Structure 1
Amino acid sequence: MRLPSWLSQHLAALRALLVMTVLLGLAYPLALVAIGKIPGLDHKAAGSMVTVGDTTVGSSLIGQAFTDKDGNPIPKYFQSRPSAAGDGYDPTATAASNLGPESVVDTIAPDAKDSKPSLLTQVCSRSLAIGKLEGVDGSRPFCTSDGVGAVLAVWRRDGLTGPVTRVVSVNQTGTPFLATYDGVPVQPAKAGEDYVADGGIITPIRGNAPAHAAVPADAVTASGSGLDPDISPAYANLQAPRIARERGLTLDQVHALIKKYTDGRALGFMGEPAVDVLELNLALDGEN
């Protein structure tokens, strides 16, 4: 007996569903699990976890914070690159801040919890904090001395031209970083005000900071994934004097460890040299 065409089509679709379920829902995942158990691959398949004794201390592929319960850096450890993934280095929330070079104006809300710092202010505040931690000049171009973006909203009589009529330091609610601009007193920002919509011309002020900041770029910016386990040799070397002091080691000993745990460019020409922070800190713990 020949089945109706509609029933034949449904049965064919059901058979295809069952076959694809077995192949892609069972056989394929099980095959990948089996491949992950092959000696030499099993460590990577399990997340490249790093253990000390019987204790798992982290992953060689995912960064982590070396801070106390209040979020303050632990002085005897090298510090990692900042992270925008969840609450920091969260592999289930891997992400960047999605803020670009034009993010220079903070959102200052009446309720502080709704305020959002611009990328520029994040960079400025991190650089200032790292400068204090490492005992170096944390100043950067376009940053104020109190660690926010040095940005003004400027109004001119004829729109884009003519004499300046009003100036606001858009990222500061306290005393502005400049007293006057073009002869006009600089006003502090007010919470909830949108100075761009109000016609202000956003004007970053470079200031007198050195062109080449003492604090490297990777120390003040998060990676695209937010999970980067590495820092640049420049950032590691910046931290070396503090580590030597806290650990009772010589600076040469610390520099030797940094060099040991520095990976070169992939294939000799791709990317930049990088220092694995977790492995370096574990090596330090083994020194004393």
Structure 2
Amino acid sequence: MRLPSWVRQHLAALRALLVLTVLTGVLYPLAVFAAGRLPGLNDKADGSMLEVDGRTVGSALIGQSFTGEDGKPLARYFQSRPSNAGDGYDPTATAASNLGPEDVVDTLPDPRLTAAGKEDENAKQSLLTQVCERSRSVGELEGVDGSRPFCTRGGVGAVLAVFGDRTTGGRVPHPTRVVSVNEQEGVVKAPFVPSYNGVAVELARYGADYGKGLIVPVRGGAPATPAVPPDAVTASGSGLDPHISPEYAAIQTARVARTRGITAGQVARLVEDNTTDRALGFMGQRAVNVLKLNIALDRRYPVRR
């Protein structure tokens, strides 16, 4: 007896479902699990967790902060790069800031809230100001020049809104008004430049709309190659990067050595031991795993209390 075509089709679909369920739902997961148990792979399969005295302190694949209860960097440890994942290095909120190079104008906070010690949820730092603020903070912590192009000495983006008639090329040859849009009146005493093309520069006022002005970032006199490297002031795309560049590690070496009472050479050797080369010899850059480095420091040169 020949079955109807629709029955044969359903039986064929059922057989395909059963076969694919066994292959992809049973055999493949078991094969992957078995591969993850092989010597040399089992640690990676379990998340590359690191332990100190039998206690798990983190993963070699996920960055973390090395700060005190007050949120300030612990001087005895190397610091990680910034993170925009949640409150920092949160695997459940991995994300970038989604801010681009043209994000240079801040949304200023309400001075009434700041005077009351409250945070203005509507205020927002531009990517440029975030970079400037981080660079200044790192410079102060490490004792190096934290200045950067297009940043004020106060650690905000050096950006002007220039008002006046524009040429067909978009320039304002004869400005009538100039405002330093990221420096708020009442917060700083004077703008980062006193004048622009013969016009006195004003401080920005909360709530004022400067959208009609031509936005002009000012490079300033900072060196073209800042002492503070890029990874010290920018977050990774995932917000979870556990590595820093050898250049960022280098400017932290003196501080860590001084805090632990050892020589910079001793610290530098540990940095080199925890530096990985480029993948396959040509992909990516050399990188320092911060957690592994700090664990090695505590083991070799514990802080004397």
In structure 2, C-alpha distance between the alignment counterparts of 1:156 and 1:241, rounded to whole Å = 50
Partner of 1:214: 227
- What letter is aligned with 1:165? T
Alpha-carbon distance change, 107 to 261 in structure 1, aligned in 2, over 3 angstroms: same
Deviation at 1:158, TM superposition (A): 4.1
- AA of the residue aligned to 1:204: P
Q: Does 1:46 align with 2:46?
A: yes
Q: Match for residue 270 of structure 2?
A: 257
1:33-92 CA distance string (max 9 Å, x none): 121112221111001111112111111121111111232111110001111222212223
State the match for 2:114 in structure 1. Answer: none
Q: Which residue in 1 is equivalent to 2:123? A: 115
Name stretches of at least 5 consecutive residues in structure 1 with no aligned partner. none
Structure 2 portions without partners, runs of 5+: 111-118
Secondary structure of residue in 1 paired with 2:100? coil
Query: Contact between 2:162 and 2:172, CA under 8 Å: does it hold in 1?
Result: no
TM-score with structure 2 length normalisation?
Answer: 0.87
Deviations, residues 196-255 of structure 1 (Å, cap 9, x unaligned): 3xx211100111222221111111111222221111111111011111111011122112
Indicate yes or no: 2:245 matched with 1:237. Answer: no
Aligned in 2, Cα 1:27/1:221: closer, same or farther, shift over 3 Å? Answer: same
User: Secondary structure at 1:23's aligned position in 2?
Assistant: helix
Give the 5 Å matches for 1:164-183.
Answer: 164-174=175-185, 175=188, 176-183=191-198
* Matched residue, 2:90: 90
Tell me the C-alpha RMSD between the 2 structures. 1.9
> How many angstroms apart in 1 are the aligned matches of 2:100 and 2:251?
26
Superposition map of 1:269-288 within 5 A: 269-286=282-299, 287-288=301-302
Greater shift, 145-154 or 203-212, is seen at: 203-212
Q: CA deviation at 1:21?
A: 2.3
The equivalent of 2:151 in structure 1 is 143
Which sits farther off after the overlay, 205-214 or 122-131? 205-214
Compute the displacement of 1:139 (Å): 1.0
TM-score under structure 1 normalisation?
0.92
TM-superposed deviation, 1:193: 4.4
Distance 1:17 1:189 in 2: 66
Cα deviation for residue 156 of structure 1 reads 1.8
Task: Give, in angstroms, the shift of residue 267 of structure 1.
Answer: 2.9
| Structure 1 residue ranges, 4+ long, deviating more than 6 angstroms after superposition | none
Q: Tell me the SS of whatever aligns to 1:171.
A: strand
CA distance in 2, matches of 1:37, 1:158: 68
Tell me: CA distance 1:120–1:4, structure 2 relative to 1, closer, same or farther (3 Å). same
Structure 2 contact 276–286 (Cα < 8 Å) conserved? yes
| Identical counterparts, % of pairs | 63
